[in-house]
Amino acid sequence: MKKLLLIFILTGLINAGYAQAGRDTIKLADPTIFYENHVYYLYGTGNPDGFGVYTSDDMQHWKLHDKPALLKGSSYGRQGFWAPQVFKHHSSYYMAYTADEHIAIASSDSPLGPFVQHIHHPVSEPGKQIDPFIFRDTDGKFYLYHVRLGRGNRIYVARLKDDLSDIDSTTLTECIHAEQGWENTASSDWPVSEGPTVTKIGGLYYLFYSANDFRNIDYAVGYATATSPYGPWTKYTGNPILSRKNTGQNGSGHGDVFATANGAWYYVFHTHSSSSIVGKRKTAVVKLSISGKNPAVISVISGTFRYLETGP
């Protein structure tokens, strides 16, 4: 009995010391990571008035900056600040994001922000649009992948104008929608495919996406390939590649693919808060394996799942 009591005391002291050290799990949904000059910048959904930014030089220890990267009033939107993505073009940084269930693009001279619009406006196409991801092709052309709300959440693409101010609506093309069993385990009348991320390996385009409602424990990630940024897209037969079956956590999905300083590939995403509670969703990462070619087979490396944490 004394031995058991001692174990409890020691466990409590260890946990207390851990808490005092400031190691807390980051709680951002729809996360994305931008890397430049030996620094990783993490953004995501979690602030009702915009987007904060965390930084790390090793992907192990993260710091939340005092000032937000984008604050309501400095750019388009009043509420529903969701799913940001940051990229660099020439000497400026851009953030594509959702607000008021529309998509906007703000700019800054630093990845820390502040990201602003001199004229507050969304992408001009009508209808509700969320989850932007801007992909720059090897020929320098930019494409906006995003979700449109109609007969479910469906992923579309359109060319961006050269000044990144808006899309060329004549190029708007549907990419994929949820139609396979794993993509709609609840048999919902509103099937969901969302959270697009696109990369190019060799001559092929890889579109990563999440399926099912984010509140569903079966929220998961798959990918599709194409020889053109417009498609047609062929879904990988081994989908989903990321789900609660290989993370052990409900609601695993909606993230971003990125490469580290040494060229390793990772996927950052969110999970439910616990086995019984959805929010606040927690931010996690897994390492990816890329094998073969035309197309490459992409999979999650077993044992690499971990949550991102703040602190020393």
- Active-site residues: which are they? 30, 194
DSSP states of 237-290? TT--SBSHHHHSSTT-EEEEEEE-TTS-EEEEEEE-SSSS---S-EEEEEEEEE
Q: Which residues pair with 304 in a beta bridge?
A: none
Q: CB atoms < 10 A from the CB of 100, how many?
A: 14
| Rg, the chain, Cα only | 20
Rounded to whole angstroms, how far apart are CA atoms 213 and 299? 22
Q: How far apart are CA 301 and CA 157, in angstroms?
A: 30
State how far the Cα of 52 lies from the Cα of 262, in Å rounded to an integer.
Answer: 26
Beta strand 297-300 with 282-291 is antiparallel
Which residues have CB under 8 Å from 192's CB, separation 6+?
152, 153, 178, 183, 184, 210, 211, 212, 213, 214
Residue matched to tokens 């703000």 = 106
Bond prior to 114 in cis (omega within 30° of 0)? yes
Q: Do 235 and 213 touch, CB atoms closer than 8 A?
A: no
Chain position carrying tokens 């009348």: 189
Task: Spell out the alpha helix ranges (H) of the chain.
Answer: 2-20, 244-247
CA distances from 73 to 16, 121, 129 (A): 40, 12, 20
Backbone angles phi, psi at 171, to 5 degrees: -100, 0
